[in-house]
Amino acid sequence: MAKLTFFGAAQEVTGSCYLLESPALGKILMECGMHQGGDAVDRVQDEKFDFNPAELNAVILSHGHLDHSGMLPKLVNQGFDGPIYCTQATRQLLRILLEDAWGLYERDLERENLRRERSGRDSIKPEYTEHDVEKVLRLCDGQAYRKAVKVGPDASVRFLDAGHILGSSIVELTLTEKGEEKILVFSGDLGNKTSALMNDPESPAKADIVLMEGTYGNRNHRSHQATLDQFRDVLHETWEAGGNVMIPSFAIGRTQEIIFHLGCLYHAGELDNWQVYLDSPMAIAVTEVYDRWLHIMDDEDVRCLNEANRESLREFLPNLRLCHTAEESMAINSVKQGAIIIAGSGMCTGGRIRHHFKHRIWKTENTIMFIGFQARGTLGRMLVDGIKEFRMFGDDFKVKARIETIGGLSAHAGQDGLIEWADNFETNPRFYLIHGEAEALDALSQRLWLDKGIKSEIPARGDCIAF
């Protein structure tokens, strides 16, 4: 009998973590994600494992985003020493993501310990080190899509394309217990079919258990054309107002999609005279990885690059300026108007975007454009919800900039896309809805039942099921 325990992203959007136990594979962890929002030191210190990492045989990772992978170094620090199965592209992206996260954690820890030293308090020891990050990368076993790989005495895994970000996967685990085959399918994060560069999510036909994400379980995105029209109109209106556009963007996926769409506007003669600044060393590095993997991406979008005689996303947008250093980032402050600033973090929990807010959020001619999900408790969510004033860097800031959400550029499937994916199974599996806020999962569960007759359950953290 297999047993599955939900340790994260259960009625919440971040911190994905699920423990699977079976005679067919021993103990395997699916995902090892970080909760997002708040100070890096607090996040890492507060994360606790409700299991012994040293007892795990392996980790299976659907994709590289930190809410799915960010606690891997801490897992290694506490004794995990097995393989980490993921796709080949995810393995390449993990180095960028985890090294960046380590740098932020190290700097925040140094600042916190300096404050503690001044007040006579004990310093905090790091929960993991740079050596743990390197060990995670050595343990990664990158696999091709659709190739069955043995992960236990009587278990195998296949990664199918989830269409979410580069390397993202739907995990298909096949277990054989006492001669009986059981299939668990974990959706990972399912992509939006209209996303630039990404292929449509694949649809496995057979499963006994399905874990399905429900980030947008309670709503749909705007149509693709309406989204692009809104995107173009907001840019033009801000240009006419003499302002600048700030785009808090996730380094993986959303940044590359924005560059692609800006490139399309440029080649259509519809980008006015904007100067575009990619102000994120991590996003720059990720974009280089995307360029190396263009051959596996959506054929139609790649053809747009080829028709423009461009072999990379960076070449596709000629007025793109890459800001590697802090000095290059600060130089943007002198640009009075006509700057599109793409900077992390995507939920405004840190990163260079907050420094651009400091100089521009209090000016009415400027626009902040959100293009991805904003989790509860983050500054991004508060701005989307209409906060008028907030505190940052020890100062109070009034929000006078225009706030726009371009929902159709999300990397996640909307409600209809999730239901369509769920309806493709031919074997009447048991559905468990995860990776979504409670109200989103409730709405998705109701639609699944009313529209398709699919029963589903919504586990809470710590719940355990047997199959």
Instruction: Tell which residue, 213, 117, 134, 232, has the closest CA to residue 417.
Output: 213
Residues 6+ apart with CB under 8 A from 326: none
| Cβ atoms 98, 72 nearer than 8 A | yes
User: Between the CA of residue 79 and those of 54, 73, 101, what are the distances in Å?
Assistant: 4, 10, 20
DSSP states of 327-382 = HHHHHGGG--SSEEEEES-TTSSSSTHHHHHHHHTT-TT-EEEE-S---TTSHHHH
* Helix%, strand%, coil% for the chain, nearest 5: 35, 20, 40
Pairing of strands 464-466, 3-8: antiparallel
Give the three-class secondary structure for 10: coil
Separation CA 273–CA 382 (nearest Å): 31
pLDDT at 186 over 70: yes
Phi, psi (5° rounding) for residue 227? -65, -50
| Cβ atoms 461, 8 nearer than 8 A | yes
pLDDT at 381 over 90: yes
Summary count for the chain: helices (H), strands (E): 15, 22
Task: Give me 235's structure tokens.
Answer: 């840019």
Q: How many residues does the structure list for the chain?
A: 467
Report the CATH superfamily, name and number, of domain 3-219+411-466.
Answer: Ribonuclease Z/Hydroxyacylglutathione hydrolase-like (3.60.15.10)
Q: How deeply is 391 buried, as exposed, middle or buried, from its count of CB atoms within 10 A (0-12, 13-18, 19+)?
A: exposed
- Res. 373 pLDDT band, cuts 50 70 90: confident
**Share of residues in the chain with pLDDT > 70 (%):** 100
User: What's the sign of the alpha-carbon dihedral 443, 448, 453, 456?
Assistant: negative
Give the three-class secondary structure for 163: coil
Question: Could you tell me the residue ranges of all domains in the chain?
Answer: 3-219+411-466, 224-409
* Range 230-249 average pLDDT: 97
pLDDT digits (tens, 9 = 90+) for 19-74: 999 999 999 999 999 987 667 788 898 899 999 999 999 999 999 999 999 999 99
Separation CA 191–CA 197 (nearest Å): 11
Separation CA 53–CA 34 (nearest Å): 15
User: Between the CA of residue 83 and those of 89, 150, 319, 412, what are the distances in Å?
Assistant: 16, 11, 42, 28
pLDDT value at residue 37: 67
* Range 137-149 average pLDDT: 97
Q: Specify the fold of 224-409.
A: Rossmann fold (3.40.50)
- Res. 407 pLDDT band, cuts 50 70 90: confident
This prediction's pTM? 0.91
- Res. 350 pLDDT band, cuts 50 70 90: confident
Measured N-to-C along each axis, helices 224-240 and 254-267 cross at an angle, to the nearest 10 degrees, of 70
Asked whether this chain's domains 3-219+411-466 and 224-409 adopt the same fold, the reply is: no
Query: Whole-number mean pLDDT of the chain?
Result: 95
pLDDT digits (tens, 9 = 90+) for 294-312: 989 988 898 898 888 888 9
Separation CA 273–CA 447 (nearest Å): 45
pLDDT value at residue 256: 96
pLDDT value at residue 274: 97
Separation CA 7–CA 460 (nearest Å): 9
Task: Give me 173's structure tokens.
Answer: 């685990």
pLDDT digits (tens, 9 = 90+) for 454-466: 999 999 999 999 9
Lowest mean pLDDT across 104-108, 125-129, 412-416? 104-108
